[in-house]
Amino acid sequence: MATRSPFAEIPQAPPDPILGITEAFLADPNPDKVNLGVGVYQNEEGKVPILKCVTEAQRRWLAKEDSKGYLPIDGVKAYNRHVQRLVLGDDSPAIAEGRAVTVQTLGGTGALRVGAELLSRFVPGRTVWVSTPSWENHRAVFEAAGHTVNQYPYYDPRSHDLDFVEMAGRIGQLAEGSVVLLHTCCHNPSGVDPSRDEWLKLRDVVQSRGLIPFFDFAYQGLGDGLDEDAFAVRAFVEAGIPCLIANSFSKSFSMYRERVGGLTIVTDSAKEAAGVLSQLKRLVRANVSNPPSFGAQAIALILDDPELDALWRSELDQMRARIRKMREMFAAILGGMGLDRDFSFIARQKGMFSFLGLPVEAVHRLRKEFSIYAVDSSRVCVAAMNERNVHRICEAVKAVAS
Ligand code: LMR
């Protein structure tokens, strides 16, 4: 008798709301297609660049690498040191006092997942709160680690701005020990961040309620600058608030497929830190055993070398400046089209993303009629626009928005 397949009842899952758009984009034969779906920086030629500093670091690393043995469970030590320095600041007392620990992770997502698992194992029963809206994958990552995920108010679609009063009000009512996921800069998907004053107020709320901040720091350097973008994390750490920070170098080094991330946890003491690190290593071991080498070695090599480090900083500055320029162009062209909608907010927002504020039907028309791919929520990746495609994108937006 034939055995029934154990997989027969597995239902079809829907495509991923972001990466599924890329699949549809790749299948589109239109040579003028534009992928504004996924958050990936493209240069003026519409290419995801390999940075010059990365090309040189790869060359040097390949000439130097003399073994393919496993990395330690927590990854490349020099890389982890640089993660801490970039995230917490060169002079951070938390680093000097040995209160911060870092493990190398598979991108920012891997860092969120390891952190989520640590929380569900050692501080169970906490609800995780994410912004409304948040990155499409946040809920899935935390739920997969066993958390209940709720949402606090954040973006006001009418003003295209932060609703700080509602946000701080809701966070101020959370039960002690709740986990609050905060986007350190370049909020994904809205491009709207709290001001410095607002961060300081939030810090007080988080501290007085005894909440656990979990920072998602995927866009360092693409908002206002490397140090400027770290303001919130450093302000919370300075106030002595224990926290988790998931950082990613996917965007800042344009090394998306190398999965270069890190999870840093700032604790109260070196003793606490040692316990946390030991448990993080167990979690990594049970998930992926130990991380891949190449991307982290290349980044460590860049950051260890003053010339390559300076080259990286200048290439990062160029990416940031180009995104800003595209924001301005996009808003200005749309502004000159005589539409009865105001798109000027796009020039004020930061990082890769903004919402167009269009209904899903309009987003689908962009896809079907113009081969312009955005996320259903009408999130667009401004970093995928260039001077050649921006006019066509604006014409298409005009057609579907009016
Ligand atoms: C995005 O939001 O588009 C990026 O963070 C890529 C991803 O994995 O979703």
Rounded Cα distance, 230 and 245, in Å = 11
pTM over the 0.95 mark: yes
382 burial via Cβ count (<10 Å: 0-12, 13-18, 19+): buried
CA of 18 to the centre of ligand 1 (A): 7
Ligand 1 atom 9: the closest Cα is on which residue? 18
Sign of CA dihedral 295, 299, 302, 305: negative
Sign, CA torsion 112/113/118/121: positive
CA distances from 52 to 42, 58, 219, 316 (A): 15, 10, 19, 11
Cα 142 to Cα 208: distance, rounded to the nearest angstrom: 24
Active site residues per annotation? 135, 216, 251
**What are the per-10-residue average pLDDT scores of the chain (402 residues)?**
88 93 95 96 96 98 97 98 98 98 98 98 92 97 97 97 98 97 98 98 98 98 98 98 98 98 98 98 97 98 98 98 98 94 96 96 97 97 97 97 86
Give the pLDDT of residue 1.
65
Q: What pLDDT does 24 receive?
A: 94
Does any ligand 1 atom lie closer than 6 A to the CB of residue 400? no
Residue nearest to atom 6 of ligand 1 (CA): 39
Q: Shortest CA distance to 319 belongs to which of 105, 50, 138, 22?
A: 50
Joined together, the tokens standing for residue 323 give 């995104």
Residue 31 has a pLDDT of: 94
Span from the CA of 191 to the centroid of ligand 1 (angstroms): 14
Is the CB of residue 248 below 6 angstroms from any atom belonging to ligand 1? no
Task: Indicate the Cα dihedral angle 289, 111, 312, 298, nearest 10°.
Answer: 0
Which residue's C-alpha comes closest to atom 4 of ligand 1?
A: 39
Cα 268 to middle of ligand 1, angstroms:
32
Lookup: tokens for 2: 């034939």
Give the residue from 51, 56, 102 showing the smallest Cα distance to 305: 56
Atom of ligand 1 nearest to the CA of 108: 5
CA-to-CA dists, residue 389 to 339, 396, 402, angstroms: 20, 11, 20
CA-135 nearest atom, ligand 1: 2
Q: Is the CB of 222 under 6 A from ligand 1?
A: no
Determine whether the shortest distance from the Cβ of 39 to ligand 1 is under 6 A: yes
- Please tell me the predicted confidence (pLDDT) of residue 291: 98
Contact 205, 239 (CB under 8 A): no
Q: Is 137 in the pocket of ligand 1 (CB under 6 A)?
A: yes
